[in-house]
Amino acid sequence: MVSFLSCFGGSRQRERRILAKKEEAARNLDQLPSWTAPDNTLILQAFEWHVPADHRHWLRLKSALPEWKAIGIDQIWVPPGCKGMDPNGNGYDIYDLFDLGEFDQKGAISTKWGSRMELEEMMRQAHTLGIGVIWDAVLNHKAGAEYPEYFDAVAVDPKQRNKEISKPLEIHGWTGFDFPGRGEMYSSMKYHWQHFSGVDWDDKGKKQEIYKILGSNKDWAPDVSTENGNYDYLMFADLEHSHPEVREDLLLWGTWITESLSLSGMRLDAAKHFSTRFQKAFLEHVRERANPNFFVMGEYWTGDVSAIHDYLEEVDNQVVAYDVPLLVKFSKLSHARSPDLRGIFDGTLVKTKPEHAVTFVANHDTQVGQMMETPVASSFKLLSYALVLLRKGGYPCVFYGDLYGIRANVKDPMTPSCDGKLPILTQARKRYAYGEQEDYFDQPNCIGFVRYGNAYHPGLACVLSNDGPSKKRMFIGRQYTNCEWTDVLGYHSALVIIDKRGYGEFPVNAMSVSVWVEAAAVKRDGLQKDFNVNIYDY
């Protein structure tokens, strides 16, 4: 009995020490940089893979922009709107960077997304609302050449691209790009075999292989991912970024499109597949010539956080990168039975380099059936988005397919993710997710955290459960004694009263999230509860 009481007393003492430490962390908040930090920003990926090829997407986005602004979105990442080889394709089969839906090429004037005039109308609306636009830049390859050309090449092992598996041979590859519909407008550059480093089809032998093009000083770029030995080649006709004419044309395009559309940033597609030295030179050029505050997201797709660190170092930390390791964790945990949540941020970019992490739950590449399919179970998406949107660190990016639902078939119903609560979470981020953060990651299946607010915004308390219903006792601050806090997600009608020590007992439903804010602040600010999910009615 004595032993039991001794252990019990020691446990209570440890609890008191932990609570005292948490209370101390909440003092003197007005002395910290977070007290006067600027308002949160939020990116929306404004498309998904199955957007219908009705050539009306720019108009659709223009109509939706005011509603997005109202729920806290201030940057949109738009699809690659340059002409692809398929006018109904998503633009990653890039044909002509300088055709934004203006010239009759590849069987159409408009791209899948619409015409250049409609794109410019959407851009004007975005600028009026103070919404920045991030362009999806496909700079790794070209597709849809007008004609094939003869040149020397060597086949390489697809699993080890530095290993040659054939003798040098003459092949007939699709590398002739004249852009007859555009002519000399905007750029006089024509592309030929010497401007590329590899192809995957020999029209002479009717054979598919990965062919490295041979020539003076030609080889795979050395500063790319070392997966498969060297991962320079990805698809189509692979651009050689060390060629001075290629380099000059791409730098010209970067400043041209940034100035023409007043872009706020770019996403570099396939960043692990083309020269990091060129990427660095490209963004420095655009920042110097067109926009000194140009925001760049590098799509360096790997679950290895150390490899992402290496990439960031190679570009002098001048870009941000996708936190793929965090997404992989979300996906794995979401398909396990009641996994331990306490280490959910271990080994992630947002934990190790939060100022360089784009945090996300899904995108067009991770959808079912896509190249980087990494599905997060629907029951876990609300938890994932709460961890992405409401915590410190990172640049959160919300997915269009989660906000509205995926439309793989025109007859399919559109079902938004997160029980339709995602617009409430984005508003909670914009209004309440500020200030210092205190974590309560002390139970395997129920974790929580508090944001203490700052000079301009109140804070919040968030509790997450991936098992049964639970509660989390968390310190809010003695200034809130006897104040009522409400769950802005609406899952709990009862209010939580903060006790005299500044603590609240915050409940959460099974496999759910609750987000608590002082009721007076919610009443004062209001939250937009009505959100039009019928995006294709625009």
Residue 394 corresponds to which amino acid?
G
Number of other CB atoms surrounding residue 406 within 10 Å = 21
Give the span between the Cα atoms of 307 and 475, in whole angstroms.
38
Residues 331, 348: Cα–Cα separation, whole Å:
13
What CA–CA distance (Å, rounded) separates 348 from 304?
A: 9
CB atoms within 10 A of CB 185: 12
> How many Cβ atoms from other residues are within 10 Å of residue 252's Cβ?
17
Q: Has 24 been annotated as catalytic?
A: no
- Residue 466: closest CA among 440, 439, 494, 446: 446
CB atoms within 10 A of CB 258: 21
CA distance 182 to 291: 26
HSE-up of residue 275 (Cα within 13 Å, Cβ side): 20
Catalytic residue among 86, 238, 269, 487: 269
Q: Is 146 a catalytic residue?
A: no
| Residue with token string 């079902």 | 415
Q: Which residue out of 299, 323, 438, 487 is catalytically annotated?
A: 299
Q: How far apart are CA 353 and CA 410, in angstroms?
A: 41
Scan for tokens 């060390």, then name that residue: 242
* Positive or negative torsion for Cα 189, 78, 288, 224: negative
> Are 170 and 204 contacting, i.e. CB atoms less than 8 angstroms apart?
yes
First to last CA, the chain: 72
**Residues 74-113: b if buried by 16+ CB within 10 A, e if exposed:** bbbbbbbbbbbbbbebbbbbbbbbbbbbbbebbebbbbbb
Distance CA 108, CA 115 (A): 10
Q: How far is CA 415 from CA 392, 397, 408, 533, 534, in A?
A: 29, 19, 12, 9, 10
Q: Which residue has the tokens 């607010």?
A: 453
List phi, psi (to 5°) of 9: -65, -40
CA distances from 246 to 253, 269, 397, 405, 445 (A): 11, 17, 32, 39, 53
Running DSSP on this structure, what letter comes out for residue 307? H
- As annotated, the active-site residues are 269, 299
